Each structure stands twice: as C-alpha cells, then as structure tokens.
Structure 1
C-alpha cells in the first residue's frame, strides 16, 4: 500500500496519507469503516515521534477509503500514478486462504479476506504495515518482552501466555502461539516506515510502490487493461 508522507513543520508533524479503494464481492461500507478505523487507531496510538532538523515531529496517520466497482477499479488502476491510491480486493476466500498484499513490500494492491475478521483482528493493520515497507521481524519469540507483540509479528509467533490463543497451552504447541488480536503498533515500527526518507528537497514524499496490478476473485493477478 503506497502512501504520501507530508511534512507539516507549522504543526510539528508528519502526516502519512493513504486512500484505500475497495472492490470485490465482499466490499461494503461496514468493512471499509472497520478497516480504516483499525488502521488509524492502531498507528496513531503510539504517538510516535521522529527527529527532523533538530525538532521532534509527531507522526500522524490519515487513512480513508472509497467503495468502487471492479470495473471502476480497472479504469482507475490503469492510469494511476498517485502514491496515495491503493486498490484492495475484499473477498471471503482466495487460493492461499489468507489476506495478503501484492508484489513485494510497499505495493499498492492487495487481496484481503473477511474471514480474517477485518477491522477487529489486527489483520488490516498488519497488512497495512507490509504495504508501507515493514517486514516480519527476524526473530519471532517475544517471551519476556513485558509488552504485547508488535503489529508485524507473524502468526505462529511465540509469546507470553497472556497473549496466546490458550494461556494454559505450552509455548509453540497447539494453542500456544500468538493470538493476533493482541498485536500493537509500536513507535519503533512507525519510525522504521520513515527511516530512509529525506525531506531535504520536498515536503511530500512517496512511500512504497505502485504496481496497480489488480486481482481476480481467487487472488490471482490479472491485467484487464494495459
């Protein structure tokens, strides 16, 4: 999911703006509201700060959505050059049985499943992190950290008992891995999104990439228009 980072020195903040164009048989206003509410809430919650020219700047996320038909998605994606615009297909299943983003970290397309409890399970916020270039952590054992697992922790991560599917289960065994609902966005993850960007010559910077390659209902890439 691509985005635009807007430097706002008069407000001492950097605003990250992204718009999700939702299409597919399960795309509804209810889903759109749940997804964007989850992403905005979770990424703004840590109130992350980054340093710019000797000043601490607050990072603010402003994510919105619009429902469009598959035909309109085809037309828009065929000509899109705006890093703010992302095209997410919403269905209840696909051939890999999970929500995913497109072609490499930072891509502006995805195929998300309602069976992943979008908007109430942290899945949308996790996939949003991939879209902004965040990968899974290299280590997935978070026991002893005294904090909830980070938003980019993958399913199957090892966590303290209170964050497991079953707190009584043995770590790593059935029920003894991370329940994704406990994931939280950390300030460090927000800083990682911005770490390689420089506002030296421009107050509006691009995050991610734009392939504009849409998906069919099963999650296979398709190019209806060139």
Structure 2
C-alpha cells in the first residue's frame, strides 16, 4: 500500500510507502536492507505514467522502521495509507513470505527468504499495490523475469537456481534474485486511474491485520 503524490513542478508522481517491521527477527539492519532493495528495484526502470494526458516520471520513496515489539492495536487502528506492517520470523507455516491479498498493507515475512538481493520485499510490495503473479509461468525466451513472477516460474537457464538443470526439476526454476521491475509493472499499476484529491491518491487498501508468530 502507498500514497501517490503529484509533483507537477518536477513532472513527477511520487509513491510513498513506509515499512514497519516487527517480530522476533526484525532488526534495524534488516529493515534498512529491505527498504533500500525495494526502493532501488522499483526505481530501476525509471518508470513513466500518463497522468491527465501528461507523461510523468514515477518515483518510489520508501522509508522503514524496526519495532520488534509492535502491539496489535497499532496495526488494527492504523489510518496512514503509507504504512505497511510486516512480521519477520524464522518460521512460516507455509514456508514462504506472504501478504494479506492484493492491495493490502500487512503480511508475514519468512527470514529465510530475506537474504540480500532476494527481491522478496520488492515482490511482496508489488502485491500490496495490487499486482498479482503473471498467469503464464513459462518465462523462457523472454529474458529477465519480472518482479511479480512467482517461485517455480520456468526461465532461461541463466536465471535458474542451477543453470545446468533441465527446466522444471529441482534447481531448474527461477532464482528470485533475478527478478526485476520493468516498465510493464509500472503500467500494470494503472496509475492513470487514480483519483487524486489535493494532489494525493491511495494505492491499495487497509487490511490492518496483525500477525502473531507461527508456532512449530
């Protein structure tokens, strides 16, 4: 989830989001890693959107904080459209990170998925903005996989966990670290459909779900 701000003097549309990381494995260093990676990846294509008939540069400004002991009420009562709350733990019942639907502001991050360069946070952020996985999970012959490609996607060998493995077997699917944001992902946000009030609009919606640590 985020808040879009029109900056006509700079011909920019700024997407603001604030990540709040909580849980037993949330640390300031990890919060900064995930913040920077998400911001860098979403700004990498130097996206363009047509707003009111005018070509506008799209930029993402991500901030983050670490609050390991965040209380449930702070999430349930949140009214800030920039705030996204993600619990970080070393165990997930489904063995992956996830968010609470398309266009939301909460989720649960599995520590194993959060190594430097994993693209996990940037991928999940895309979901919070309303983007789904591509229906076609065969990306072979199409180059670098998009940021919203799901684990298990078939890709060219250089983008696999193991380039020597046949497509589809263990090691023969997309390594998430190769995902990148493309102009197509910016297009899919449909920023041209946003309804602005005083130069601001909201992407996504409030889920405001507090996650408790999964139990083994």
Normalising by the smaller structure, the TM-score range is: over 0.9
* Structure 1 gap segments, 5+ residues each: 220-226
Matched with 1:13 is 12
| 1:56 corresponds to 2:55 | yes
Whether contact under 8 Å (1:100, 1:111) holds in the other structure is yes
1:137 CA drift (Å): 0.3
> What is the rounded CA distance, in whole Å, between the counterparts of 2:87 and 2:115 in structure 1?
12
Tell me what 2:134 maps to.
Answer: 137
2:25 is the counterpart of 1:26: yes
How far residue 189 of structure 1 moved from its aligned partner, in angstroms, is 0.4
Q: Identify the range of structure 1 (196-205 vs 134-143) with the bigger mean alpha-carbon deviation.
A: 196-205
Counterpart position of 1:92: 90
- Compute the TM-score of the two structures, normalised by the length of structure 2: 0.94
Q: Match for 1:167 among 151, 159, 163?
A: 163
Whether the 8 Å CA contact 2:86–2:109 is kept in 1: the answer is: yes
2:154 matched to which residue of 1? 158
The one of 105, 111, 121 aligned to 1:124: 121
Residue number in structure 1 paired with 2:104: 107
Shift of 1:51: 1.2
Question: CA–CA distance in 1 between the matches of 2:116 and 2:104?
Answer: 20
d(CA) in 1 for partners of 2:62, 2:115 = 15
C-alpha root-mean-square deviation of aligned residues, in Å?
1.6
Q: CA deviation at 1:168?
A: 1.4
Paired residues in the alignment total 215
**Structure 2 counterpart of 1:203, from 196, 199, 202:** 199
1:201 is displaced (CA, Å) by: 4.7
Equivalent residue for 1:67?
66
Alignment of 1:39 onto 2:38: yes
Q: Please report how far the alpha carbon of residue 56 of structure 1 lies from its aligned counterpart in structure 2 after TM superposition.
A: 1.1
Contact 1:165 1:177 in 2 (8 A): yes
Unaligned runs of 5+ in 2: none
Q: Contact (CA 8 Å) 1:7, 1:199: kept in 2 or not?
A: no
1:205 offset after TM fit, Å? 0.5
- The 5-angstrom pairing of residues 173-188 of structure 1 reads 173-188=169-184
CA contact (8 A) 1:34 1:118 kept: no
Alpha-carbon distance, 1:36 to partner = 0.4
